[in-house]
Amino acid sequence: MERVRLAGILHDIGKVAISDSILQKPGPLDDHEWALMRQHTEIGARILSSPDLADIREWVLASHERPDGTGYPRRLAGDEIPLEARILAVADAYEAMTADRVYRRAIGAGAAREELERCLGTQFDPDVV
């Protein structure tokens, strides 16, 4: 559990290499901007190159994979995605939905739970949700 907690803190560390103009953009990202944003998991995995962080590096790399195989960067599906990465994905999405962002206001906890449930099996692991 402590390693997953640490991974939760570090999961978006690769965003340090993403331009603030993308991270702080008040509107939708275009295709090019999304391509750059999707690189943050691989950048984060490279940053976490210490052998002591091998497990966390793998979870960070897989934290935007989806059970239906449409995630990134490797298009892993189902159990190919480490359980810890599936946990990170749900926690990250919940936090993102319940916090104000430059491009939208937060939604309530109930609406966030409904969205997690709506995306069961596609974006989020049903057992984790």
The reply to whether 25 belongs to the active site is: no
The contacts of residue 114 (CB under 8 Å, 6+ apart) are none
Out of 4, 6, 15, 107, the active site residue is 15
End-to-end Cα distance, the chain: 17
Residue 73 preceded by cis peptide, ω within 30: yes
- Which of 47, 49, 48, 87 has its CA nearest to residue 65? 87
Residues recognised as catalytic: 15
